[in-house]
A = this chain, B = another copy of it.
Amino acid sequence: MSGNETIDAPMELALKEAEAAAKRGEVPVGAVIVSADGEVLAETGNRIVELKDPTAHAEVLAIREAAAHLGSERLIDCDLYVTLEPCAMCAGAISFARLRRVYYGAEDPKGGAVDNGPCFFHQPTCHHAPDVYGGLSEAPASDLLRQFFAARRS
Protein backbone atom coordinates (compact mmCIF):
# COMPACT_ATOMS: atom_id res chain seq x y z
CA MET A 1 0.00 0.00 0.00
CA SER A 2 1.48 3.33 -1.00
CA GLY A 3 -0.85 5.75 0.75
CA ASN A 4 -4.30 6.60 2.01
CA GLU A 5 -5.78 6.89 -1.47
CA THR A 6 -5.14 3.23 -2.17
CA ILE A 7 -6.40 2.16 1.23
CA ASP A 8 -9.45 4.40 1.22
CA ALA A 9 -10.91 3.29 -2.10
CA PRO A 10 -11.95 -0.23 -0.95
CA MET A 11 -13.21 1.15 2.37
CA GLU A 12 -15.38 3.59 0.42
CA LEU A 13 -16.87 0.60 -1.42
CA ALA A 14 -17.41 -1.18 1.92
CA LEU A 15 -19.21 1.90 3.28
CA LYS A 16 -21.50 1.91 0.23
CA GLU A 17 -22.27 -1.76 0.87
CA ALA A 18 -23.07 -0.90 4.51
CA GLU A 19 -25.47 1.83 3.36
CA ALA A 20 -27.13 -0.60 0.98
CA ALA A 21 -27.45 -3.14 3.80
CA ALA A 22 -29.24 -0.57 5.99
CA LYS A 23 -31.73 0.05 3.17
CA ARG A 24 -32.48 -3.70 3.15
CA GLY A 25 -33.17 -3.58 6.90
CA GLU A 26 -29.87 -5.23 7.77
CA VAL A 27 -27.40 -4.01 10.41
CA PRO A 28 -25.23 -1.76 8.21
CA VAL A 29 -21.94 -3.57 7.77
CA GLY A 30 -20.14 -3.82 4.44
CA ALA A 31 -17.04 -5.75 3.39
CA VAL A 32 -14.69 -5.78 0.41
CA ILE A 33 -11.86 -8.19 -0.44
CA VAL A 34 -9.01 -7.04 -2.64
CA SER A 35 -6.27 -9.18 -4.20
CA ALA A 36 -2.56 -8.35 -3.90
CA ASP A 37 -2.68 -6.55 -7.26
CA GLY A 38 -5.69 -4.43 -6.26
CA GLU A 39 -8.50 -6.37 -7.93
CA VAL A 40 -11.80 -6.26 -6.04
CA LEU A 41 -12.72 -9.94 -5.58
CA ALA A 42 -15.84 -9.44 -3.47
CA GLU A 43 -18.00 -6.59 -2.22
CA THR A 44 -21.06 -7.22 -0.15
CA GLY A 45 -22.98 -6.38 3.01
CA ASN A 46 -24.89 -8.18 5.74
CA ARG A 47 -27.69 -10.38 4.36
CA ILE A 48 -28.83 -12.19 7.51
CA VAL A 49 -32.47 -11.15 7.23
CA GLU A 50 -32.60 -11.40 3.44
CA LEU A 51 -31.11 -14.90 3.29
CA LYS A 52 -32.55 -16.05 6.64
CA ASP A 53 -29.00 -17.19 7.42
CA PRO A 54 -27.37 -16.35 10.77
CA THR A 55 -23.92 -16.81 9.19
CA ALA A 56 -24.55 -14.25 6.42
CA HIS A 57 -22.34 -11.53 7.89
CA ALA A 58 -20.66 -9.26 5.34
CA GLU A 59 -17.23 -10.77 6.02
CA VAL A 60 -18.36 -14.40 5.65
CA LEU A 61 -20.20 -13.64 2.42
CA ALA A 62 -17.20 -11.71 1.06
CA ILE A 63 -14.83 -14.55 1.93
CA ARG A 64 -17.09 -17.10 0.24
CA GLU A 65 -17.44 -14.85 -2.82
CA ALA A 66 -13.68 -14.24 -3.11
CA ALA A 67 -12.90 -17.95 -2.60
CA ALA A 68 -15.36 -18.86 -5.37
CA HIS A 69 -13.80 -16.19 -7.59
CA LEU A 70 -10.27 -17.56 -7.04
CA GLY A 71 -11.32 -21.23 -6.94
CA SER A 72 -9.43 -21.67 -3.69
CA GLU A 73 -10.35 -21.84 -0.02
CA ARG A 74 -7.23 -19.81 0.81
CA LEU A 75 -7.16 -16.12 0.00
CA ILE A 76 -3.38 -15.78 0.10
CA ASP A 77 -2.11 -12.16 -0.05
CA CYS A 78 -5.67 -10.82 -0.11
CA ASP A 79 -6.91 -8.02 2.16
CA LEU A 80 -10.30 -7.48 3.80
CA TYR A 81 -11.90 -4.08 4.34
CA VAL A 82 -14.90 -4.13 6.68
CA THR A 83 -16.81 -1.26 8.25
CA LEU A 84 -17.13 -2.88 11.71
CA GLU A 85 -14.70 -4.85 13.87
CA PRO A 86 -15.27 -8.54 13.06
CA CYS A 87 -17.05 -10.84 15.53
CA ALA A 88 -15.73 -14.26 16.66
CA MET A 89 -17.39 -16.08 13.74
CA CYS A 90 -15.89 -13.72 11.18
CA ALA A 91 -12.48 -13.59 12.89
CA GLY A 92 -12.39 -17.39 12.68
CA ALA A 93 -13.35 -17.28 9.00
CA ILE A 94 -10.67 -14.62 8.32
CA SER A 95 -8.05 -16.83 9.92
CA PHE A 96 -9.10 -19.95 7.97
CA ALA A 97 -9.10 -17.93 4.73
CA ARG A 98 -5.50 -16.87 5.45
CA LEU A 99 -6.29 -13.23 4.69
CA ARG A 100 -3.16 -11.05 4.82
CA ARG A 101 -4.57 -7.82 6.27
CA VAL A 102 -7.80 -6.69 7.88
CA TYR A 103 -8.77 -3.02 7.80
CA TYR A 104 -11.83 -2.25 9.90
CA GLY A 105 -13.86 0.90 10.56
CA ALA A 106 -15.74 1.14 13.87
CA GLU A 107 -14.65 -0.74 16.95
CA ASP A 108 -17.30 -3.05 18.46
CA PRO A 109 -16.86 -3.35 22.24
CA LYS A 110 -20.14 -5.31 22.52
CA GLY A 111 -19.52 -7.99 19.92
CA GLY A 112 -16.05 -7.56 18.42
CA ALA A 113 -13.50 -10.37 18.65
CA VAL A 114 -10.39 -8.71 17.24
CA ASP A 115 -9.57 -5.95 19.75
CA ASN A 116 -12.38 -6.87 22.17
CA GLY A 117 -13.79 -9.97 23.85
CA PRO A 118 -11.76 -13.05 22.91
CA CYS A 119 -9.18 -11.02 20.86
CA PHE A 120 -9.14 -14.12 18.71
CA PHE A 121 -6.02 -13.42 16.65
CA HIS A 122 -3.97 -13.41 19.87
CA GLN A 123 -5.28 -16.80 21.06
CA PRO A 124 -2.91 -19.79 20.96
CA THR A 125 -5.67 -21.68 19.10
CA CYS A 126 -5.53 -19.16 16.21
CA HIS A 127 -3.19 -20.57 13.58
CA HIS A 128 -3.09 -17.65 11.16
CA ALA A 129 -3.41 -14.02 12.23
CA PRO A 130 -3.68 -11.22 9.68
CA ASP A 131 -2.17 -7.78 10.21
CA VAL A 132 -4.96 -5.63 11.63
CA TYR A 133 -5.56 -1.91 11.10
CA GLY A 134 -8.56 -0.55 13.03
CA GLY A 135 -10.25 2.85 12.92
CA LEU A 136 -10.16 3.34 9.14
CA SER A 137 -13.14 5.56 8.17
CA GLU A 138 -14.38 5.04 11.72
CA ALA A 139 -16.65 8.13 11.80
CA PRO A 140 -18.86 7.32 8.78
CA ALA A 141 -18.95 3.62 9.70
CA SER A 142 -20.09 4.44 13.27
CA ASP A 143 -22.58 7.05 12.05
CA LEU A 144 -24.30 4.50 9.81
CA LEU A 145 -24.70 2.08 12.74
CA ARG A 146 -25.86 4.80 15.13
CA GLN A 147 -28.48 6.10 12.68
CA PHE A 148 -29.71 2.57 11.99
CA PHE A 149 -30.25 1.70 15.66
CA ALA A 150 -31.68 5.16 16.51
CA ALA A 151 -34.29 4.72 13.76
CA ARG A 152 -35.20 1.27 15.12
CA ARG A 153 -35.71 2.63 18.65
CA SER A 154 -37.86 5.63 17.58
Q: What is the interface size of chain A, counting residues whose CB is below 8 A from a CB of the partner?
A: 43
Q: Which of B74, B110, B113 contacts A54 (CB 8 A)?
A: B74
Q: Which residues of B contact A113 (CB under 8 A)?
A: 88, 92, 118, 125
Q: Is the interface of A mostly helix, strand, loop or mixed?
A: loop
Residue on B nearest A96 in the bound complex, by CB: B54
Distance in angstroms from A47 CB to nearest chain B CB is 10
Q: Give residues in A with beta carbon < 8 Å to B.
A: 48-49, 51-56, 60, 63-64, 67-68, 71-75, 87-93, 95-98, 109-113, 116-118, 120, 123-127
Which 3 A-B pairs rank lowest in CB-CB distance, beginning with the nearest?
A89-B92, A117-B125, A118-B118
